[in-house]
Chains A and B, each alone.
Chain A
Amino acid sequence: MTTTTPGTTGPAVARPARRRRPGVAVGCGVLALVLAVLAGIWVGALPLPPGAVVVTLADRVLSVFGGHLSGGLAETQAAVLLELRLPRVVLASLVGAGLAVAGAAYQGVFRNPLADPYLLGAAAGAGLGATLVIAYSPVQSVGPVGIVPLAAFVGALLGVGAALLLGTATGGSHSPTLLLAGIAVAAFLAAAQTLVQQRNTDDLRRIYGWLIGQLGSSQWSDVVLVLPYLGVSCAVLLCCGRALDVLAVGDDEATSLGVHPGRLRLLVIVAASLATASAVAVSGLIGFVGLVVPHIVRRFVGGSHTLVLPLSLLVGGAFLVLADLIARVLVAPAELPIGVVTAFVGAPFFAGLLWAGARRR
């Protein structure tokens, strides 16, 4: 290795060099996610003994191979674990991971720290789709799939699609035009959603409940529903880290480095929007995660997307599992809306980070 050891020779005013080993950072992220998931499983309205939880889970895994372990949870407790808590924790981690990695990708592709996964009309489209079917749909599901997740998913993709069409038709893939097109589409869809909502005040409670986000009714079928889309889109985004680093120097310079900024941006936006649409479909509009988790991650590992993207994925998953945990236990047996908790917990935490960062300088 010929890399020079940095930091020691620079003047004292320089901030410490951000060159911690990537493996360590990713390891910490994995650890955070694992701990959050374990806490999410153990803690709840019905306390489950941690040892018995582990035994029960191990027994389930072993039973696939014909093995058996005794000393697990009683039947009701096992049902709570396997049918209520586990799918909820898994879904929370998937949704959090998807929103955070999509947020990091949006921020990178628009070179805009205020970008979030809902920027291009995904949220407004999903909101309109969900509101329409809650208000007017005669059926509750299409086959095994609930009509609300389906409408939200389609609405989110249509919203982003409209923004992309409008943006590229008016200004190529130049990012400020695309942003403005997204704002126009989002405003239009949000207005339509409000109109439908106002004309159907009987459904207001359900619509509102969906809009602020919820994980309370999570089932394994939700996990199965989103996993393929989230898996594919997150895999694409994680591969785009280096490409986003090149894009960070601006379109002209990226072109001079042999890259096609327009195509790259389109690929990243489509992948991030697919992740957002699938997350929104099963959980509603959970705010804050996609905006702030990437910033929290950058505070620790610097700006390179090769680290920011995978760590946003891990930290986003852990963050939403913990937020959901708080939503469940704080006013148990009632629940707080998860979207309220993410902002309520996340905002002071982020403010603290900003403050600490300012002092360190």
Chain B
Amino acid sequence: MTDRTEERPDARSGSGARVEVVGLSAGYGRTTVLHSVRLTVEPGGWLAVIGPNGSGKSTLLRSVLGFHPHEGQVRVDGAPTTGMTRKDRARCLAYAPQAPVLPEGITTEDYVLLGRTPHRPLLAAPRGVDRRIVADVMERLGLAPMAGRPLTTLSGGEQQRAVLARALAQQPRVLVLDEPTAALDLGHAQQVLDLVDRLRRQDGLTVLSTLHDLTLAGQYADRLALLAEGRVVASGSPDEVLTAQALSTHYGARAEVVHGPSGPAVLPVR
């Protein structure tokens, strides 16, 4: 078992990396959607990008991941991602999209195994170490009983966990989550966010996510960045960013911000 030492078969990722976004601009055609965005996520931190619809949250994540053409730089522990191969980038950043494409007719285990793609040649079969890592990740996420079931027969919450499991099987240093709770009810949303928080604390993973639910964002992320019309208009701790004034200015919303024990809560006012 020589591969145990080099492959970290317990599926714990390496410590989280610092993510820096510097002067990032991006657009569609002639429309500029992001204007010189600057963000930093500390190693092991959780930055949630919030902002009204159309403010450029998803474009920001897609640019950070290199899916979308952009100007400016994204650095992971100081290294610009433009200098990395796709494979190196995939070993460092894992992505769970808002509306994942779930292939028909494959088992949950085979789906999670796709997360091992950046760790072996594209044409090679999964090795024992890949299967061990996948089994371990599925165990941690409570997916072990569903391993052999077709992915499309899982419930919404289970599917969201399967997508997360696939991302974790990449053994990334940074987890990029686009609206991880978009399709979930409150209970399942909390389950998923608790899970992400636990993974972050246990493995020291860095998390960069968008979250449209402001109260959940304030409770789970340790830093928030408020994006409006493609610019970062506020960033800092949840208490600093979530203010009635900011919600009124950028969301056009009437709301009070109540400071509870687990963070600021946004209470809409009629």
**Interface residues, chain A, CB within 8 Å of chain B?**
1-7, 9-10, 13-15, 17-19, 111, 239-240, 242-243, 245-246, 248-253, 255-260, 298, 302-304
Contact = CB atoms under 8 A, between A and B. Distances in A.
Contact of A249 (B67, B88, B101, B105): B101
A111 B135 CA distance: 28
Interface stretch (B22-30, B114-122, B212-220, B254-262): B114-122
B103 A245 contact: yes
B87 to A, nearest CB: 4
B146 interface: yes
Given A10-B148, A255-B67, 15 more contacts: A3-B147, A4-B144, A6-B107, A6-B109, A7-B149, A18-B150, A19-B148, A245-B103, A246-B114, A250-B97, A250-B100, A251-B67, A253-B95, A258-B118, A304-B110
A257 B115 contact: yes
A242 B109 contact: no
A57 B124 CA distance: 38
23 contacts: A1-B131, A2-B128, A4-B109, A6-B147, A7-B148, A14-B149, A242-B123, A242-B124, A248-B103, A249-B100, A249-B111, A250-B101, A251-B67, A256-B65, A256-B94, A257-B117, A258-B86, A258-B91, A259-B117, A298-B105, A302-B106, A302-B150, A304-B105
A6 B97 contact: no
Going nearest first, the 6 A-B pairs with the smallest beta carbon separation are A6-B148, A303-B105, A258-B90, A17-B148, A258-B118, A250-B101
Interface in B147-184: 147-150, 153, 170
B3 interface: no
Interface of B: 62, 65-67, 85-91, 93-95, 97, 100-107, 109-111, 114-115, 117-118, 122-125, 128, 131-132, 135, 144-150, 153, 170
B164 to A, nearest CB: 13
A2 B105 CA distance: 22
A250 B178 CA distance: 15
Given A246-B117, A256-B90, A257-B115, A17 B97 contact: no
A255 B114 contact: no
Contact of B114 (A2, A5, A9, A245): A245
Contact of B107 (A18, A250, A252, A257): A18
A302 B148 CA distance: 12
A4 B117 CA distance: 21
A1 B134 CA distance: 12
Contacts of A249: 100-103, 111, 114
B60 to A, nearest CB: 14
A257 B114 contact: yes
A246 B90 contact: no
A302 B106 CA distance: 6
Nearest to B172: A256
A4 B101 contact: no
B157 to A, nearest CB: 14
B146 A10 contact: yes
